[in-house]
A and B are shown apart, each in its own frame.
Chain A
Amino acid sequence: MTIEFRGVTKRYGGGAAAVDELSLTVPDGSMTVFVGPSGCGKTTSLRMVNRMVEPTDGDVLLDGRNVRDIDPAELRRGIGYVIQHAGLFPHRTVLGNIATVPMLSGWSRRSARRRAGELLDTVGLPAELGSRYPAQLSGGQQQRVGVARALAADPPVLLMDEPFSAVDPVVREGLQDELLDLQRRLGKTIVFVTHDIDEAVRLGDRVAVLRVGGRLAQYGTPADVLRHPVDDFVAEFVGKDRGYRGLSFLSAGALEVGEVVTVEIGSVPGESGEWRLAIDDERRPRGWLAPGSTVDGSLAEADLVAGGSLYRRGTSLRGALDAALSSPASLGVVVDDDGAAVGVVTARHVLDVIERHPASATATSRTARA
């Protein structure tokens, strides 16, 4: 379902505009992320889609139909809505929470609960959590239940307002991955709000950068916004690391993988003057054996220096550079889809590839001008 904002303005109580003449289109089946500093009108913009806020001026259209013409309760049952604090109903079990919208839409209790059970699985929660109450869940689990509740009636549109901001960074990354995966499988049209540019770039097919006063500063793909910020505000907002972040969009096609000496855990490694990569019996990297280190008998995990991040072959150059920079041996370990080590890359080699990349050349020149 396509969402279109057409000249949408919102003033609260006749004051200054919270959202000013917003016009943009979120294409069917894609995810658009609204990003911007606090108070720039992200939440207000989002809530005008499900009429939790009524525009002062302009229209929001769903597949060309003006939301003003749809009964608010009906409209909202057809739009999944996830908020920052999950907003779960404390008196209902997890299953009861997830079954809310199907029940409101007149499903039988049994089919609503069966559907709720399926959704637990969809959002990666074990079935036995279904009978718990929200107070018995961790923050991350509550967020997942919030997402499951929003998905329960299989709405074509999902609105998510900083859904992951209250959980710790590790959990957040997991939830982001799962959202991307869900999006690929379910093909929902999603509007996602965050003030974290990293999250925006990671999740969005398109990113809408808003400035205080509720004006749209730039709307484009993440790569576009990072490489070609339209003005100083956007450039400032996307931050100092935008060149590095931009690497996320450079594919590593031309990257050659070098060879590395490996030693298997449990074998007798002997002596060597160079870094050697320790692997297990399935060739998965376990760490590094430092040059000149001596091992009593066979090689054990305790003899190793912890490795850096791993670079999965075929993904973006950002991961390759990070693997090289984080490795104690200055050699980024490259793994295949099964996690088996296939070789190494150096930072120098990654940089060579970046410099030869045509897109990055324009990015560099634009940045120089800015």
Chain B
Amino acid sequence: MTAYVSIEGVARRYGPTTIFQDVWFGIARGEFVCLVGHSGCGKTTILNILAGLEAPDDGAVIVDGQAISGPSLDRAVVFQGHALMPWMTAAGNVAFAISCRHRDWSRAACDAAAREALKRVGLDHAADRKPAELSGGMKQRVGIARALAINPKMLLMDEPFSALDALTRGALQDEVARLVSETAQTGFMITHDVDEAILLADRILLMSNGPEARIAEVVVNTLPKPRTRANLHHMPGYHALRDHILDFLIARSRAFKADAPPADWSARAVPAVSPALSPSPLAAE
């Protein structure tokens, strides 16, 4: 696997506490990776480092063979709290992003492209509304449209649906799954929702509890695409996959100790498992 992005030995420390260190993983072009772990283990920090918004205390992020030194238009971020500018309309928010990508475009061209981007997430009717006049799900969709409108090489999402009700979240998950598979968008997403991870991710990184968190396991999602929420749970292997991740979150995430890792574990080559292919003994317990 030739990685488009690789995270190499990244660490974050606050004084004497090490939140995480020795984090290594790569994301291939066209691949969608989800990061799952308990609250406070450092997921947002990893995403911010990947985006270039924060510098790691150790290690580096390599994109296309080059270490990054800051944020880039190539790595669009969908923020957890939507982060729309309340003084701009939905179209204005997206057009602002487009005008940053295409400095030479006219205002009208940016606006037209913004409306096109909103149409892709089904919001063409709300283009002229301010964020305050949109529901939570609509705001999050504008955030996604803004990220996709600049044609990023990579999409970074920090729990984009966690603040939404279950129905809206489900609809948006299907929508993102469709958009991502249509364009083979490279993506990295943090989530607490196991089904969301299985729906979207090609690989799921499982992070142990902090402090001293690590990527403890990599789960390869072998379920066939396209996946939708409607067909997901009928797929053979789905339950094994889901149980494997839940078991990790409930028990193994706490049991994992970086100073006494499992025999086959190494920070640079975290063991990958495919529970959907061959149900692991752990999941069968």
Whether A and B are associated in the same complex: the answer reads no
